[in-house]
Chains A and B, each alone.
Chain A
């Protein structure tokens, strides 16, 4: 009897260990390097004209010969200004690459909603190795990408944007 119990116990232990190993392998397979993605649930507020920096930053490691990267940003937002104002571009959003100036690497327009509701938008930007001045170009090793934004209509005051849940991520183009 004792032997049989021991055998069952060992079998269970083996099964549990095997399950844990499988779970660990699955976790590793889906893992994204932690620096390549930031998710925030706390409000992010941009005040004033373009452009101010958000502090939200992601990093990616480039090989010896840098390749293009894709940076994605998904947000819930609201802002001041909107209906029947004169400007056609109210707010813009962009990136600071390796500490460089705030620039557009793709779509940049933020729709004005005049604080009536929250909207959701996703932006996907492409940064090429040829972009930017030498000091801020993509280079071998770690590269940073910081979100930046601001108002474009000087007649619109205050130029305020409130961003709720948002996700910033970066990946190399394979």
Chain B
């Protein structure tokens, strides 16, 4: 009380206003964080072509929130794809924007077909990310990949679903 008395009414009102504004800002930021929230499922319904040697981000990201110490997660990717014969493509994940790593089977090859006439096929891949590679809170998982041969190696990716869930 003595401190308040020495500060004077005007200064107290000034400090109170600043504290109020700061409080509102913090609340606003928290609300924004919840509004965006983690996105455990991503679906894309068009075709894209990725060209080049491994590894580049393919731009598809999912995220999940884990309270406290993280536990392993399973990231599933189910996709249509098409590529030329004898081209090998590998895929992996960038966890929290770290470099592309391989967390399970992620290779694509095409059976022998006449070049230029390959049919679309589908694959479902599962990556297991260990707890040691994640932080407490929200973690992001971005699909990445590329060819094992030439710079011109390319893969067409069609409709696909990327999902992350906690391993139970």
Contact = CB atoms under 8 A, between A and B. Distances in A.
Interface stretch (A12-20, A43-51, A52-60, A100-108): A100-108
Contacts of A173: 40-41, 163, 165
Contacts of B41: 68, 70, 126, 128, 173
Contacts of A68: 41
Interface in A121-153: 121-126, 128
Interface residues of B, number: 27
B78 interface: yes
A109 interface: yes
B122 A121 contact: yes
21 contacts: A86-B117, A87-B119, A88-B119, A88-B120, A104-B45, A106-B78, A107-B79, A107-B160, A108-B158, A108-B159, A109-B120, A109-B122, A111-B122, A121-B123, A123-B78, A124-B124, A124-B161, A125-B161, A126-B161, A128-B41, A173-B165
Interface of B: 40-43, 45, 76, 78-80, 82, 113-114, 117-124, 158-161, 163, 165-166
Given A88-B119, A107-B122, A122-B124, 11 more contacts: A70-B161, A82-B119, A87-B119, A108-B122, A109-B119, A123-B78, A124-B76, A126-B163, A128-B41, A173-B41, A174-B166
